[in-house]
Amino acid sequence: WETESPVPFSRARIGTFFQQMPVLRNPFSEDVLLRGYLKRHLPSKSVVSDLCAFGERVANEVDSWGRECELNQPQLKQFDPWGQRVDHIVTSPAWKRMKDLSAEEGLVAIGYERSFGEWSRVYQMSKLYIFSPSSGLYTCPLAMTDGAAKVIQSIGVSWPVDDAYSRLTTRQPDQFWTSGQWMTERQGGSDVANGTETVAVPQVNGSYKLYGFKWFTSATDANMTLTLARVQDRYGATTPGSKGLSLFYAEVSRDERGQLRGIEVQRLKEKLGTRQMPTAELVLDGLPAHRLSEEGRGVASIANMLTITRIHNSIAAAAAMRRVVQLARDYTLARMEVETRGAFLLVMEVCRLLGREESGVSSELDSYLLRLLTPVVKLYTAKQAVAVVSEGLESFGGQGYIEDTGLPGLLRDAQVLSIWEGTTNILSLDVLRGIARSSGMVLHAYFSHALLAGASSVSSLRPAVNAVDGALLDLQNFVEVAVNRSPSYLELAARDVAYSLARIYAGALLIDHACWKEAIPSDIYAAIRWSEQDLCPVVSKQVTGCYEPNAAALDAALMCDG
Ligand code: UCC
Ligand code: FAD
């Protein structure tokens, strides 16, 4: 018995509708905002052709290596077949290829070659931005490598770190080294000053041996690390708190028996995401090391690393948003695009300020702004990345939840961005620290920044300009009153202060970009859409009394109910 039309479901016929697979195209060519930004600020043909060629490589070659890193995750081989301890972290060929690629493409080197003067950081970070979502998280060791190079550069490139510096910043794959950043111990990663138990025992030749336990060490296949420890005096005593911490440089090397010198890998972490790269717990058992900072200046000395890694984190956040929006374009909500644009311009602004500082052309106000905006941008973009990537997955429907589409990994990897390199709370407090240390000058820099100056001539931007102006005034009034309240008032408000600083500044940057002579209508529209949200949450929430001294007690009671 035959029908006229073909039977839709039988054997190999499984219906006619198939949701289309999202296709990754050149992430540079597809990114109108990135291309516009560079055309405006860094109109160099060689930069554009390098990024365009790299974008092709990312789409056609590197992205599949990134996927391979996710599928072929690192493993710890603790013993050899004869029972000898070897502590080998076995990584995939794709992960190793990423290392060579990173050197060849100058992903760290560009920032130190400074071929484009104060814009070199913007160039370097643009390249990392198109690489990041395809990198299989190789951007994590690169961030720490860049941070280590920055610390060495700021301390002085001389023995014992001159060779390391040239390896961290080389373009030669066979010379290239990556660095770790071992700060977190079991007692707590936020409060490093009190959480660090590792001790440094002085040796007769002036070097040290480190003994301690590092609870989280990422990309542990690194060649070297920067870490913190307390120097023991000759009676074995150490100084507690921040004043007892010093910064150390150590190479990760093996002895003649093939065993790690002074390190035991306790285990690899079983993580929600970032599974492409190893994160290990390490016992330091006499790790040979050199002290880089003065005794007791460990935190201040590693702060340069934190600045760089926090900027890399923000790049990864903005890049994850851009990637999910690019893939979900057919389903995309404008809100996601606007968030992505705000994040991109915020992080590029910090890169611009970093480049100015490193080229010796920044004003005092620029330096204050860099200090203020680094934690602001890190905390804000990380949270937005989780929200935007989650929304992006949902736009694919059920397919967004299916592992072998490669989409869920984007969300898992985004979740870490607000935890490592300082959690949201800690960075909110860092914003207050930055303000206090500059005696308020940093806020002066922020409030007096003339980003809106040219905007009044573009009438279609008026609603956005009014909104940002109004929010800026509200924030200024809030801060003037709040600094005279109890310290706990500002502490309770810290997160909302940071959010307000981020939203207002991003609004100003979107407006500034929309005033550019080659701006297109969507640039103006994006600025207006951005300014329609609550730009100054610290003022709108204040009315509920949630920063008052009794609010913390009420919150605690609410949490502990029952
Ligand atoms: O998570 C980690 C690696 C993850 C993998 C890499 C990912 C990279 C991105 C990849 C993208 C795909 S490593 C662990 C990261 N850990 C943290 O971020 C720690 C979070 N906690 C903090 O940030 C705290 O605020 C501390 C530890 C910095 C607070 O320490 P103290 O000692 O209590 O702080 P003090 O006493 O306020 O400051 C000590 C000195 C001061 O300098 P002086 O003495 O000259 O006045 C501060 O001004 O340090 C200076 N300082 C800073 N300077 C403190 N924070 C900063 C800062 N952010 N910038 C400049
Ligand atoms: P805690 O410090 O115990 O914080 C717990 C919670 O309390 C957080 O929500 C925090 O915001 C909050 N909190 C803490 N103090 C305050 C405060 N004063 N006020 C308000 N809230 C507060 N570390 C390294 O050193 N090197 C690495 O390579 C590394 N890699 C990592 C990789 C991964 C995948 C992860 C998840 C972490 C990694 N970390 C690494 C550790 C990371 O930096 C820490 O987890 C982070 O700094 C938080 O520290 P903690 O886990 O001890 O949490």
Residue ranges of domains in the chain:
178-299, 450-560
216 lines ligand 2 (CB under 6 A): yes
Please tell me the distance between residue 58's alpha carbon and the centre of ligand 1 in angstroms.
Answer: 33
pLDDT in tens, 500-531: 999 999 999 999 999 999 999 999 999 999 99
Burial category of 123 from C-beta neighbours within 10 Å (exposed 0-12, middle 13-18, buried 19 and up):
buried
Please provide the CATH number assigned to the domain covering 178-299.
Answer: 2.40.110.20
Q: Which atom of ligand 2 is nearest to the CA of 187?
A: 52
Written as one string, the DSSP assignment of 39-51 is HHH---HHHHHHH
In our burial notation (b when 16+ CB lie closer than 10 A, e otherwise), range 516-535 reads: eeebeebbbbbbbbbbeeeb
416 lines ligand 2 (CB under 6 A): yes
- The pair of structure tokens assigned to 362 is 């920044």
Which residue's CA is the closest to the ligand 1 atom numbered 47?
Answer: 300
Confirm if 37 and 348 have CB atoms less than 8 A apart: yes
Please tell me the distance between residue 434's alpha carbon and the centre of ligand 2 in angstroms.
Answer: 20
277 lines ligand 2 (CB under 6 A): no
Please tell me the distance between residue 390's alpha carbon and the centre of ligand 1 in angstroms.
Answer: 29
Please tell me the distance between residue 381's alpha carbon and the centre of ligand 2 in angstroms.
Answer: 17
Q: 282 by DSSP, 3-state: which?
A: strand
Q: Probe ligand 1: pick from 299, 309, 310, 369, max atoms within 8 Å of CB? A: 299
Please tell me the distance between residue 14's alpha carbon and the centre of ligand 1 in angstroms.
Answer: 56
- 174 HSE (CA, 13 A, CB side): 0
Q: In the prediction, which pLDDT does 6 show?
A: 65
Please tell me the distance between residue 144's alpha carbon and the centre of ligand 1 in angstroms.
Answer: 14
Neighbours of 454 (CB within 10 A): 13
Which residue's CA is the closest to the ligand 1 atom numbered 10?
Answer: 140
**Chain center to CA of 289:** 27
Q: Minimal CA–CA distance to 218: which of 25, 112, 74, 100?
A: 74
Please tell me the distance between residue 299's alpha carbon and the centre of ligand 1 in angstroms.
Answer: 6
Q: What are phi and psi of 414, to 5 degrees?
A: -70, -30
Amino acid, single-letter form, for residue 209: K
Which residue's CA is the closest to the ligand 1 atom numbered 4?
Answer: 420
- The pair of structure tokens assigned to 134 is 């395809």
Q: In the prediction, which pLDDT does 438 show?
A: 77
Report the alpha-carbon distance of residue 419 to residue 379 in Å, rounded.
9
Confirm if 229 and 210 have CB atoms less than 8 A apart: yes
Q: Minimal CA–CA distance to 323: which of 276, 387, 389?
A: 389
Q: In the prediction, which pLDDT does 119 show?
A: 97
Report the alpha-carbon distance of residue 280 to residue 218 in Å, rounded.
6
Please tell me the distance between residue 39's alpha carbon and the centre of ligand 1 in angstroms.
Answer: 35
Confirm if 118 and 358 have CB atoms less than 8 A apart: yes
184 lines ligand 2 (CB under 6 A): yes
Q: Which atom of ligand 1 is nearest to the CA of 181?
A: 13
Report the alpha-carbon distance of residue 19 to residue 14 in Å, rounded.
13
- The pair of structure tokens assigned to 521 is 């209508």
Neighbours of 346 (CB within 10 A): 26
- 425 HSE (CA, 13 A, CB side): 5
Confirm if 135 and 61 have CB atoms less than 8 A apart: no
Q: What angle do CA 274, 279, 284 make, to 5 degrees?
A: 165
Q: Which atom of ligand 1 is nearest to the CA of 132?
A: 12
- The pair of structure tokens assigned to 317 is 């956040």
Report the alpha-carbon distance of residue 308 to residue 320 in Å, rounded.
18
Report the alpha-carbon distance of residue 179 to residue 167 in Å, rounded.
10
Burial category of 190 from C-beta neighbours within 10 Å (exposed 0-12, middle 13-18, buried 19 and up):
middle
Q: Which atom of ligand 1 is nearest to the CA of 371?
A: 59
Residue stretches of the chain with pLDDT short of 50: none
Neighbours of 456 (CB within 10 A): 12
Amino acid, single-letter form, for residue 366: D
Which residue's CA is the closest to the ligand 1 atom numbered 40?
Answer: 300
Q: 92 by DSSP, 3-state: which?
A: coil
The model's pTM is 0.94
Q: In the prediction, which pLDDT does 351 show?
A: 98
Which residue's CA is the closest to the ligand 2 atom numbered 4?
Answer: 190
Which residues have CB under 8 Å from 421's CB, separation 6+? 306, 309, 310, 313, 378
Report the alpha-carbon distance of residue 132 to residue 174 in Å, rounded.
22
Strands 9-10 and 13-14, bridge-based pairing: antiparallel
In residues, how long is the chain? Answer: 562
Report the alpha-carbon distance of residue 136 to residue 124 in Å, rounded.
18
Which residues have CB under 8 Å from 436's CB, separation 6+? none
Q: Which atom of ligand 1 is nearest to the CA of 420?
A: 1
Q: What angle, 0 to 180 degrees and rounded to 10, lies between the N-to-C axes of helices 441-448 and 424-437?
A: 100
313 lines ligand 1 (CB under 6 A): yes
Please tell me the distance between residue 186's alpha carbon and the centre of ligand 2 in angstroms.
Answer: 10
Amino acid, single-letter form, for residue 560: C
182 lines ligand 1 (CB under 6 A): no
Proportion of the chain in helix, strand, coil states, percent, rounded to 5: 55, 15, 30
Whether the CA torsion 366, 367, 371, 372 is positive or negative: it is: negative
223 lines ligand 2 (CB under 6 A): no
Per residue, the 3-state secondary structure of 466-516, as one string, reads HHHHHHHHHHHHHHHHHCCCCHHHHHHHHHHHHHHHHHHHHHHHHHHHHCC
423 lines ligand 2 (CB under 6 A): yes
217 lines ligand 2 (CB under 6 A): yes
Q: Minimal CA–CA distance to 435: which of 481, 475, 473, 483?
A: 483
Which residue's CA is the closest to the ligand 1 atom numbered 43?
Answer: 300
